[in-house]
């Protein structure tokens, strides 16, 4: 593995890869203006700890507060746009036989950028559903005033009358079976894994790069900070997603055109 700089080493890892997996976390959406999970909550939410809001117990205790928080996050996600890093992943996908994005994010930005194979490990802000039968519920039908003062009466399902809940995995809940199966199958077959914008401390998602590495895949981490993964990855690229991913695509395209 030649070259000191992480861009060169990352391009070398991908040069002969055929099956690539990208694991993304909240840092991938940071440059779209969506705060990371562990950013201090802003404004009206600053007095709440997200770990206290993202649980079934919190919803049972104060459904309006939890519903408002997710409805606010849905509105912010809808107002956000994919950035150059999301666009770079769409272009990167064209270069490989298989290209799978496994995201811990719930904001839908990968899909809005045009990525087609996206596994949402932690659910989606777009997937509000009723808490009994799972009937889907469309948040865009809900009045704009909702969520402003955390006193919104939680809407109920037209079909069965149960409270509407976010389609996001809460702490203590299991991940969607099909997402887990697909995610594990993709890393078990991967030649290379890009880990972008995750603190790599929440399991089972944080296990995925290690599964890939154990079967021989190279692991490239893109993150402006170090994480528990940094010391075991093939390349620890200390950089923002919006800078690193476009540079990586450009380098691979340059190498190919030589
Ligand atoms: P975190 O907020 O824990 O970590 C965000 C990571 O992104 C940090 O390591 C930052 O250094 C990094 N970061 C910040 N800006 C970045 C940028 N511009 N480019 C690249 N990286 C950047 O968010 P997650 O790791 O996604 O789960 O959190 C994982 C899970 O913890 C979430 O999905 C959520 C929470 O429990 C559930 O809600 C089930």
Is residue 194 within 8 Å of 187, Cβ to Cβ?
A: no
pLDDT, residue 3, reads 61
Q: For residue 119, which of 131, 106, 128 has the smallest C-alpha distance?
A: 106
223 lines ligand 1 (CB under 6 A): yes
Active site residue 83: no
224 lines ligand 1 (CB under 6 A): yes
38 lines ligand 1 (CB under 6 A): yes
When pLDDT is cut at 50, 70 and 90, the band that residue 255 belongs to is: confident
Q: For residue range 16-74, what is the model confidence (pLDDT) as tens digits? A: 999 999 999 999 999 999 988 767 566 666 677 877 889 999 999 999 999 998 999 99
Is residue 1 within 8 Å of 12, Cβ to Cβ?
A: yes
229 lines ligand 1 (CB under 6 A): no
Is residue 214 within 8 Å of 133, Cβ to Cβ?
A: no
Residue nearest atom 3 of ligand 1, based on CA coordinates: 199
Of 10, 25, 39, which is best to mutate to test ligand 1, by the most ligand atoms within 8 angstroms of its C-beta?
Answer: 25
Strand order in the sheet with 235-237: 118-120, 98-103, 19-24, 192-196, 218-222, 235-237
- What average pLDDT does the structure give for the chain? 92
Rounded to the nearest whole angstrom, what is the distance from the C-alpha of residue 36 to the centroid of ligand 1? 5
Which of 86, 122, 135, 150 is an active site residue?
122
What is the arithmetic mean of pLDDT over 74-82? 95
Q: Is the pTM of this model over 0.85?
A: yes
DSSP 23-84: EE-GGGTGGGTPPPTTSPPPGGGTTS-HHHHSSHHHHHH-HHHHHHHHHHHHHHHHH----H
Rounded to the nearest whole angstrom, what is the distance from the C-alpha of residue 160 to the centroid of ligand 1? 36
């Amino acid at each position: 593995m030649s070259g000191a700089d992480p861009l060169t080493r990352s391009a070398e890892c991908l040069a002969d890869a055929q099956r690539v997996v990208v694991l993304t976390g909240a840092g991938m959406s940071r440059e779209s203006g969506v705060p990371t999970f562990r950013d201090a909550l802003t404004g009206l939410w600053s007095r709440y700890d997200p770990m206290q809001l993202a649980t079934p117990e919190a919803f049972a205790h104060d459904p309006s507060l939890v519903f408002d928080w997710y409805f606010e996050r849905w509105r912010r996600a809808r107002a956000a746009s994919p950035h150059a890093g999301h666009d770079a992943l769409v272009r990167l996908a064209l270069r490989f036989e298989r290209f799978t994005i496994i995201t811990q994010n719930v904001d839908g930005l990968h899909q809005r950028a045009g990525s087609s194979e996206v596994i949402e490990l932690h659910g989606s802000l777009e997937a509000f559903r009723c808490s009994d039968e799972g009937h889907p519920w469309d948040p865009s039908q809900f009045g704009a005033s909702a969520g402003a003062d955390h006193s919104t009466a939680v809407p109920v399902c037209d079909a069965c009358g149960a409270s509407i809940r976010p389609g996001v995995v809460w702490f203590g809940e299991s991940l969607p079976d099909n997402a887990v199966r697909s995610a594990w199958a993709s890393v078990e077959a991967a030649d290379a894994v890009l880990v972008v914008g995750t603190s790599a401390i929440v399991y089972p998602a944080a296990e995925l790069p290690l599964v890939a590495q154990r079967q021989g895949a190279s692991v490239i981490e893109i993150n402006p900070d170090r994480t528990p993964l940094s010391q075991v990855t093939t390349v620890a690229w200390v950089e923002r997603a919006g800078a690193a991913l476009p540079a990586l695509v450009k380098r691979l395209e340059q190498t190919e055109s030589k």
